[in-house]
Amino acid sequence: MYYTLAVLTALASSAAAVGNAVVVNKCSSTIYAWSVGSSVGTKQTIATGKNFTEPLHSDAKSGGIALKITTVDDGLYNGSPQQIFSYSLDGASVWYVYDLSTAFGEPFLGKRITVTSTGSPSIVWANGSNPGGSQVKVGVSGVDVVFTGCA
């Protein structure tokens, strides 16, 4: 992936503080999330109106982190559709890349889902289905990046 010098300079001059990755549940039922690097984190149970928040971080082995989200309890282990909100930081954690994909089906089919970060491009799947094209965006560290289910 290539970035212009102007973009890199703009990103490098912004705050170096690290923001959070947030999974917000605005759906009418509970959703579940796991933070996955080289190992799988504990199951996060996110009730309607709640969120799961973790500081943007890297994994020494996998590099990037995938937040795997299901609408079914223990969905990661029972083959349920997964929404995958992933991110990776550059070495200096000045900027990060985030994207949205699925595995084993589309858990939010028929529901609007978004990934937003103030000052950076949003990812919007109007009906929970991948609209096609690149879903990779660049965010600036120090700013939260927020996945919202049933946005």
Total interface residues for ligand NAG by CB under 6 A: 10
Which of 24, 56, 100, 115 is the binder for ligand NAG (CB under 6 A)?
24
- What order do you get walking across the sheet with 145-149 strand by strand? 51-55, 20-25, 145-149, 113-116, 123-125
Return the residue matching tokens 């590099």: 63
By CB under 6 A, tell whether 150 contacts ligand NAG: no
Least distance (Å) from ligand NAG to the CB of residue 23?
9
By C-beta, is 38 or 127 nearer to ligand NAG? 127
Cβ of 120: how many Cβ atoms within 10 Å?
18
Closest listed residue to residue 137, CA positions, set 124, 117, 121, 149: 121
- Of 8 and 50, the one with the shorter C-beta distance to ligand NAG is 50
Closest to 54 in 3D by CA, of 63, 44, 150: 44
Nearer to ligand NAG, 29 or 127 (CB): 127
Interface with ligand NAG (CB under 6 A):
22, 24, 51, 53, 109, 126-127, 129, 131, 146
